[in-house]
Amino acid sequence: MSIELVVITGMSGSGKSIALGALEDAGYYCVDNLPPELLEPFLALEDERRARKVAIAMDVRSGESLPQLPLLLHGLRVKGLQLRQIFLDANDHTLVRRFSETRRRHPLSQPGERDAQQTLLQTITRERELLADLRERSHVIDTSFLRPSQLLAMVKDLIAAPAAHLTLVFESFAFKRGITLDADYVFDVRMLPNPHYEPELKPLTGRDQPVIEFLARQPHVRLMQEQIATFLRTWLPALAKDHRSYVTVAIGCTGGQHRSVYLVEQLAALFGQEWQTLRRHRELDGL
């Protein structure tokens, strides 16, 4: 089977329809809410039609057949199908707010239930438990702080990366807005010298030359960069051997503007010489 398949899963309200739209724009034939038991017959039909790129969204709307999905996807990988799994997530506060704004019912809500905040939070917790196995096997994107345009760009970047190679995603974030949910590894760099307290550097970012020069002079910044690089060099070969498609390395500082941005840029440039790399700046990319 020569199809390139992308499976979008994730929390209700996390942006799966937006991600599916990005894939449609990229030339994929997209299907939303396909029951797992129809996956293999559907792919066989599309293969007969000589389809090359297919994207399918699947989630808790599949009901009792959802537990079949991880085993089905594993079987397709064993058969040699080119498969990417993307899981969209968001924090509970964001999901509750999105459901409140749209006045939609959660697909796991029971008839007669009031979607009061506490009931909705319990439903979200139940959904996380049902999707835990799929999340573990997928590349996770935290949409809590993303605008639709950011999510569109992020999905397109991911599918543009070579599927047969491990892709390193370096992401900066601000601890004051919460730890990103999509990280495989999180490094806290808040103890490093902070350009925020230098008046001429405060309005700049870690991508600006004066901040780059300031941080490059700091011994502890250089040490942190070296130690993160050593850790990744040690474990990336094992991760690639384990058939991981993506590894997200998140680096956080207080405001997500200077130190974390600088280190993401430096590490992405360093590892980009050997690995496919993507870089994200959660607090800057939406500006």
Binding site per annotation, positions for ATP: 10-17
Phi, psi of 2 (to 5 degrees): -100, 15
The Cα 169–Cα 249 span in angstroms is: 6
- The continuous run of DSSP H or E covering 247 comes out as strand 246-253
Check: CB of residue 201 under 8 Å from CB of residue 195. Answer: yes
Q: What is the DSSP string of 146-185?
A: --HHHHHHHHHHHHHS-TTS-EEEEEEEEGGG---TT-SE
Annotated binding site for GTP: 59-62
Is 252 in contact with 178 (CB distance < 8 Å)?
no
Q: Which residues are annotated as a binding site?
A: 10-17, 59-62
- What residues pair up with 29 in beta bridges, in sequence order? 54
Torsion over CA: 236, 241, 247, 250 (sign): negative
